[in-house]
Chains A and B, each alone.
Chain A
Amino acid sequence: MLRNRLIFGLIYNEGCFMQSRNFRLQRVGDINWLEKNYKFQKISFSMDELLVVDATRKEKNIDKFSETISRLVEDVFIPVTAGGGIRSIDDAEKLFNSGADKVLLNTPLYENEMLAKQIIARYGAQSLIASVDYKIIEHEPIVYIKDGTVSVPVAMEDYLKRLERLGVGEILFNSIEKDGTGFGYDIPNITKYANSVNVPFIILGGAGNGAHLNDGLNVEGVSGVATANLFNFIGNGLPKAREFMLNEGANLARWDNADF
């Protein structure tokens, strides 16, 4: 049976990793800090995938970001997705060449569909994750681009269907309002949209503990649960959450990580 996935996200900003809350960023530490304090490779054995997003608000430097990806993926044997600020096929290529297995697009999905088509033609549909950020405005989930600053005048269901037609490999459904809160996922909207498209559906925004992650996985149609909550899951947090999830019966991959 196909397993569900536990995906860990790192939010990157000008060389540092950040805690994001409602898309406002707080600096936590750089890559040396991550390796020194948290033995990143060790906690990578508790995740199914790694997602790294460049959320730099000023001019993004894709070369420097690529270097960070390259260091991060050393001795990490899970799929790595990188994104944030990809505006050309050359940008995407830099990230793939640095060790990314997939790239994440957000703004260009609306403003420049041709870029998504180029990535799919060269690297395959499975290599592209469509990031969909949304806020609830008058009870309706509204899609936002440009780091959550500009709304898109297309209804959520139509937008998701449009991404499916475009041929993206997966959808990352991210609640801006739940982002970094640790209060749990936006279950009502996730329930409403997870089965509206026939591509793998990953949710992000709000998970603060293992029970929240399992709540997400229990929604029909959800393929993966993601968290970028550094405060709650770094160190022992993630291994413990995974253990909790498995003990509660979550359908996650099992590995023989001892004896190596």
Chain B
Amino acid sequence: MKIVVVDYGMGNVKSVISAIRYLGFEDVILSNDSSILASADKLILPGVGNYAMAVKKIHELDLHSIIRELVLCKKIPILGICLGMQLIGRSSTEDGFHEGLALIDAKVEAFNSKGIKIPHVGYNQVEPVLNSRLYSGINTELDYYFTHSFRMQSEADICASRCVYGENFIASFEKNHIAGVQFHPELSQHNGLKLIRNFIEKF
């Protein structure tokens, strides 16, 4: 099982990698080399920070078409985390309008509720839909760590869990071999470690 964490220079990837190793998957590598990405059994797209800057870096590193080909044609499973999840969607309105990887039909916009503190920071409960693979075997109230000001919306039937913060938004999605989580499983104690293991084993 070879797991490749996509390196495009945004955010803390150290904890993602140490979480995967902690779970006993030793063959994990951080890379932006197209041949290494092509050899992956699973891809993880991490990311923290600004959407526009992330899109720019993905294009600069020629990763846009490679990731699309690996995921859409070769059907390599991918898990997007936080900004990585948002990048899997079509677009975001953070700092203008920017197009993402468009692996699924979803758009990213700012929270529009009044009277909530922004960013949404901290552990919040998520409510999984029936038969979600990501949450399989996790038997608690499902607290996960969030830190974001934008969230995903979609007309498509992809939602795997919802979270409430001023409004109801998509906390995670699953569509065949493509998954994304708005929260940080690598910063969510055992709830998160189990979710990462579920992605590796069930996708």
Chain A residues within CB distance 8 Å of chain B: 1-5, 45, 48, 70, 73-75, 77-80, 96-101, 121-127, 169-170, 198-200, 223-224, 252-257, 260
Contact = CB atoms under 8 A, between A and B. Distances in A.
Contacts of A200: 117, 119, 121-122
Contacts of A98: 14
B124 A126 contact: no
A48 B186 CA distance: 13
Contacts of B48: 101, 123-124, 126-127
A2 B117 CA distance: 11
Contacts of B165: 2
Given A2-B165, A77-B186, A99-B14, A256 B138 contact: yes
Nearest to A48: B123
Given A77-B188, A122-B49, A254 B122 contact: no
A255 B50 contact: no
Interface of B: 11-12, 14-15, 18-19, 22, 48-50, 53, 117-125, 138-141, 143, 145, 147-149, 164-165, 184, 186-194
A74 B18 contact: yes
B18 A101 contact: no
Interface centre among B11, B138, B139, B147 (most CB of A within 10 A): B147
Given A96-B12, A122-B50, A255-B189, 16 more contacts: A1-B164, A3-B122, A77-B19, A77-B187, A98-B14, A99-B15, A101-B187, A122-B53, A123-B11, A123-B48, A125-B149, A126-B148, A199-B117, A254-B143, A256-B191, A260-B190
A121 B10 CA distance: 12
Contacts of B187: 77-79, 101
A13 to B, nearest CB: 24
Nearest to A76: B15
A3 to B, nearest CB: 4
B116 to A, nearest CB: 8
Q: Is the interface of A mostly helix, strand, loop or mixed?
A: loop
A4 B121 CA distance: 10
Nearest to B49: A124
A62 to B, nearest CB: 17
A199 to B, nearest CB: 6
A77 B194 CA distance: 12
A256 B194 contact: yes
A75 B190 CA distance: 11
A77 B192 contact: yes
Contacts of B192: 77
- 8 nearest A-B residue pairs (beta carbon): A253-B123, A253-B143, A99-B14, A3-B123, A256-B140, A126-B147, A255-B189, A124-B49
A2 B149 contact: no
Contact of B193 (A127, A224, A260): A260
Contacts of B164: 1
Contacts of A80: 15
Given A255-B143, A256-B140, A100 B12 contact: yes
Given A126-B48, A126-B148, A255 B191 contact: yes
Contacts of A252: 123
A94 to B, nearest CB: 13
Contacts of B190: 45, 77, 255-257, 260
Contact of A5 (B122, B139, B191, B194): B122
A48 B189 CA distance: 9
